[in-house]
Structure 1
Amino acid sequence: MNAPLRLVVAGASGRMGRMLVEAIAAADDLVLAGALDRADSPALGEDAGAAIGRPQGVAITADLDAALAGADVLIDFTRPEGTRAHLAACARHGVKAVIGTTGFSAAQKAEIAAHAERCATVLAPNMSVGVNVVLKLLDVAARALDTGYDIEVIEAHHRHKVDAPSGTALQMGEVLAAALGRRLADCAVYAREGHTGERDPSTIGFSTIRGGDIVGDHTVLFAGTGERIEISHRSGSRAGYAQGSLRAARFLATVSSGLYGMDDVLNLR
């Protein structure tokens, strides 16, 4: 029997971090090897499994090198600044990375690609298996509905989300634009107010909702004459993101270098 894959969770005391710790604890082929959090986190020193009632014998720490020593894969759902620092430490230790952080600039994505040349990395704005299947469906739909249909992307998240539109909504936009032979940067409309004039049929519109504890809802509307087609995904909890992340970590165990997406993990290319 192969040794369990040794995983480190960044942001271990947060909502997503706790979900990841719980999912790892329930998996027979994985083990929690480290738990990271910010230097000002009140959870430092606590057992990473205490919040879920399943102690793991791993204390939450802000010491990157200590957490990553001997690890195989880091799973990171933090913020761009933190993720960049974590990747620098991963490079020192030869640790692979699953990155679900969103809000990266083009230059920061280039940094991640450079890291992936040394240590295999999965980068995806949404780790949910269902969302990534939806992305495949959107590609098919956009190619078939390329004429006579206006496309709008509507997304909703909790009040604490700091970037908009969501990384998933933007990835949906990228998939739609590519299927239509366009560049999203040239056809995206992110805001409408006042006298906007008639809708340009070549555009892809985005609408953003923030409120309450919404985990994540995404709908793409294809509005034609006499009919509307909607392709939606709604997350009821973060469990789907956690399970997708674990699938990504297992995938990384099979490769040594390269930058991958969830379409590679799920064989959807």
Structure 2
Amino acid sequence: MRIGIAGITGRMGRLLTEEVAAAGADVSGGTSRANPDLAALAAQSDAVIDFTNAATVKATAVAMAASGKAWILGTSGLGADDEAAVEAAAATIPVVYAANFSAGVNLVLALAERMGAALPADSYDAEIVEMHHRQKVDAPSGTAIGMGRAVAKGRGQRLEDVMESGRHGHTGARKTGAIGFAALRGGQVVGEHSLIFAAGAEHIVLTHRSFDRRTYATGAVRAALWAVGKPAGLYTMMDVLGMA
């Protein structure tokens, strides 16, 4: 198995290199700022793992679709147009797109959906609090948004219709059924996410903490090994874990 790594010289790229070798696969190469030719990388790979930048996603989607190879996408901060490009690529190739590749986080997302379905929106206010290192450039994090989408799905809603993020000033009373987000940044926190259901008589808090980015690399390599040979389609880590 030949796995290419987009952004191979970065922090995640170095971990991915180690985890590919640990899984018994071969690193076919990688892209970097000095060598950004993703089409050439895809041509010599069975799958490409991409944890780069949202600004490159549209171009990467086109290149990966043309290559016919599996694309494992963990880049966060994607907009609606970016996600549309990912979906278009998935019509041609297998794409595993996940807010987070940690097995533990994906179990939390599954629980979040079930809790959203079980705890009525008119009596349990859902709030998501996340904290990351000071270098993170997007907020809320992709994992936090994934949590929100899971809760909204459980409630039969679209997150875009009920999301409240970055409250400031005289906002008025909290809207019933809203899903709120707060993003904290500081130090070198790898990732902390808490989903809070707050009712008048009780609070329920579901928390996941990451202490090492390697868990994301391990999951992404697992996804790459799983995706090669799969039919074209848009998959998630839930599919990889057999939980879809």
> What corresponds to 2:18 in structure 1?
22
SS at match of 2:117: helix
Aligned counterparts of 1:65 and 1:139: Cα–Cα separation in 2:
37
Normalization by structure 1: what TM-score?
0.85
SS at match of 1:152: strand
Does the 8 A contact of 2:12 with 2:51 survive in 1? yes
Does the 8 A contact of 2:96 with 2:234 survive in 1? yes
Deviation at 1:252, TM superposition (A): 0.7
Comparing 99-108 with 78-87, greater Cα deviation is found at 78-87
Taking only aligned residues, the RMSD between alpha carbons, in angstroms, comes to 1.5
SS at match of 2:13: helix
> What corresponds to 1:87 in structure 2?
61
SS at match of 1:148: coil
Q: Does 1:37 align with 2:32?
A: yes
Counterpart mapping for 1:71-86 below 5 A: 71-86=45-60
Deviation at 1:77, TM superposition (A): 0.3
Identify if the C-alpha distance between structure 1 residues 181 and 93 changes in structure 2 by more than 3 Å, giving closer, same or farther: closer
Q: Give deviations 1:190-234, integer Å, cap 9, x for gaps.
A: 122233333223111100001111111110001122321110111
Comparing 223-232 with 236-245, greater Cα deviation is found at 223-232
Q: 2:218 aligns with which of 243, 266, 269?
A: 243
Counterpart code for 1:193:
H
Normalization by structure 2: what TM-score?
0.94
> What corresponds to 1:152 in structure 2?
127
Aligned counterparts of 2:210 and 2:10: Cα–Cα separation in 1:
18
SS at match of 2:114: helix
Identify if the C-alpha distance between structure 1 residues 195 and 267 changes in structure 2 by more than 3 Å, giving closer, same or farther: same
SS at match of 2:82: helix
> What corresponds to 2:233 in structure 1?
258
Stretches of structure 1 that go unaligned for 5 or more consecutive residues are: 40-60
Deviation at 1:188, TM superposition (A): 1.1
Stretches of structure 2 that go unaligned for 5 or more consecutive residues are: none
Identify if the C-alpha distance between structure 1 residues 207 and 255 changes in structure 2 by more than 3 Å, giving closer, same or farther: same
Counterpart mapping for 1:140-219 below 5 A: 140-146=114-120, 147-219=122-194
Question: How many residues end up aligned between the 2 structures?
Answer: 243
* Structure with bigger RCO (C-alpha 8 Å, 6+ apart): 2
> What corresponds to 1:12 in structure 2?
8
Aligned counterparts of 1:203 and 1:222: Cα–Cα separation in 2:
11
Q: Does 1:226 align with 2:221?
A: no
Aligned counterparts of 2:14 and 2:77: Cα–Cα separation in 1:
22
